[in-house]
Chains A and B, each alone.
Chain A
Amino acid sequence: MDAALYAATLLTLAAIYAAFSLGLNLQWGLTGLMNFGGLAFVAAGAYTAALLTAAPSGTHVGGFGLPWWLAWPAGALAAALLALPVGAVSLRVRTDYLAIATIGIAEIVRLAVRNEDWLTGGPLGITGIPRPFEGLGQPWGQLAYLGLACAAVAGLYALAEATARSPFGRALRAVRDDEEAAKAVGKNPARLRVQAFVLGAAFMGLGGAMMAAFFKFMSPEALEPVTVTFLVWVMLIAGGSGNNRGAVLGAVAVWAVWAATDWLAAQLPGELATRAAYVRLFLIGLALQLILIARPQGLIGERIGTQR
């Protein structure tokens, strides 16, 4: 029973990461946009959905008690609305500026979440976020939630595939491969980039909403750049940038490794366990380096000519 619950937790988190990773693949894999602030869009989705679904509380605004199927799309929309001005301003100039702008917006969002108590509950966070299917009891409720998370990721995957294989996706790849040539064949790079950036952010926002409901609690603690932004990059690059199946596979594989190292570290005696947390970060960074050297295309990379 415990093993089943553990597996369900692991897979649910892998599914949530798959949503982030599919979003980053639209941005980086398909369009070549360096978003180093995934955290900001995850946070926008998570807090929006949390505020809409949680019970009323004296410590923060909201508590509207809305159903998840309204709150999750709202979370995706909030992330998209945050991405729109960031992309519209920075992508008009040069794509490198997006990397800087996204790092900046992620820090701003992190500070805002921590300090704007009236909105987010500050460090205390938002409690009492309902998780769909809780009423079914354990383990069925958790398994049902895993099913819901997988269904949501399947939907995102289908949308990402429809996008990547469409003429729109082809235009994004043109912009990614050579901006000047893309202009010469009639594409408006800034416009296409903003669209891809906003769409990818919406994926991350939906993942954030799924995360808030799964934790049933949302606080700044859940928004670490390492685990929310950086780990997603590792997943996408390990799985195969430019390939949606690679994005999902990378999320599951890297999350499994990440969770396993967490368990291993916990088995170590006292002081070593504390240090192991840092060793783990080092090892993930090392693994990324090794992948980039040995297999830069990832486990399953982009295939030329599969898009018709």
Chain B
Amino acid sequence: MTGAAPALAVRGLTKRFGGFVALDGVSLNVPEGSITGLIGPNGAGKSTLFATVAGFLAPEAGTVRLRGADVTGLPPWRLHRIGLARTFQIPRLFARMTVRENLMVAAPGQAGERLPLPWIARARIAREEAALRDRADAVLARLNLAGHAEAPATALSGGQKKLVELGRALMSGARIILLDEPAAGVNRTLLREIAATIASLNREDGITFLVIEHDLDLVAELCDPVHAMAEGRVIASGTMAEVRNDPQVAEAYLGMAIAPAE
């Protein structure tokens, strides 16, 4: 594999729902080691792009390449195993689990999930679980959630749930993480915390991010490059300053001021 292959390369990706074209030949690159931004008004197809790239929806046309390897059409659990994780716009935590369990369950390749090993190899599974627990606690400490490890996932605030979503993605060991609106509905203090965490994960751990975000100041601060989408297409790519000044982007965002992002 050449070092030049982008972490994620999307080419001509098309997704229709009946007569509605949600993705109309989307092409974009997420460079290795970047925090790439994805902006655009509601209904532009950003979340559909995430779902299609992560294997939750099957595209009608186009390809998705992960570090050069064609992964188009692979189911989400296979993509997770080879290093692509995603979060959800509205956090989807496992309600009847603790915060720690929510993280532990997200580790790939657990021997304890393969019957009959949980019945016959108890010592091995216990060791695996102890190691997983330590990893989960380390991730929780990094997200300032250590005190909530034993709490039921439902007891957390909306912003904390977003952090647990991020924590689950980190537990996968993924090198590429798709974040769907990490700052939406989060208070200012927690927003700063989330932004700092993403930046440090990128800088120190070398994790590549593709981030959907409506908070354009946050995108300007964190992301380079930035892609703007409207009506199922990528209409502009570049630095945030370039994208912001693009007349097509300004046009797509017209009306956003009276219909603010959720």
Contact = CB atoms under 8 A, between A and B. Distances in A.
A185 B105 contact: yes
Contact of B88 (A174, A177, A181, A187): A181
B118 interface: yes
A184 B152 contact: no
B119 A163 contact: yes
Given A167-B110, A170-B97, A183-B75, A305 B150 contact: yes
Among B85, B92, B113, B129, the one with the most A-chain Cβ atoms within 10 Å of its Cβ is B113
Contact of A177 (B97, B115, B133): B97
A127 to B, nearest CB: 37
B112 A184 contact: no
A171 interface: yes
A187 B113 CA distance: 10
Contacts of A227: none
B56 A167 contact: no
Given A168-B112, A168-B115, A187 B94 contact: no
A115 interface: no
A185 B94 CA distance: 11
Contacts of A182: 94
A185 B87 CA distance: 9
B214 interface: no
Contacts of A178: 92-95
A212 to B, nearest CB: 26
B67 interface: no
Given A184-B80, A184-B86, A187-B77, A166 B101 contact: no
A79 B180 CA distance: 44
A304 B97 contact: yes
Given A171-B113, A181-B92, A184-B76, A304 B98 contact: yes
B118 A167 contact: yes
A177 B118 contact: no
Contacts of B129: 167, 308
B203 to A, nearest CB: 25
Interface in A190-222: 195, 199
B105 A171 contact: yes
A183 B56 contact: yes
A285 to B, nearest CB: 27
A302 interface: yes
A72 to B, nearest CB: 18
B96 A304 contact: yes
B54 to A, nearest CB: 7
A28 to B, nearest CB: 14
Contacts of A162: 118-119, 122
A170 B103 CA distance: 11
Contact of A173 (B55, B96, B111, B171): B96
Interface of B: 54-56, 75-77, 80-81, 85-88, 92-98, 101, 104-106, 108, 110-115, 118-119, 122, 125, 128-129, 133, 150, 152, 168, 171-172
Given A169-B118, A180-B56, A304-B152, 8 more contacts: A162-B119, A167-B105, A177-B94, A178-B92, A181-B93, A184-B168, A185-B172, A187-B105
Which 7 A-B residue pairings sit nearest by Cβ, starting from the closest? A167-B112, A166-B118, A186-B80, A185-B106, A181-B92, A177-B94, A183-B76
30 contacts: A162-B119, A162-B122, A166-B112, A167-B112, A167-B125, A167-B129, A168-B114, A168-B115, A170-B105, A173-B105, A174-B94, A178-B94, A180-B88, A181-B88, A181-B94, A183-B77, A184-B54, A184-B85, A184-B88, A185-B168, A185-B172, A186-B77, A186-B80, A186-B81, A186-B108, A187-B105, A305-B150, A305-B152, A307-B101, A308-B101
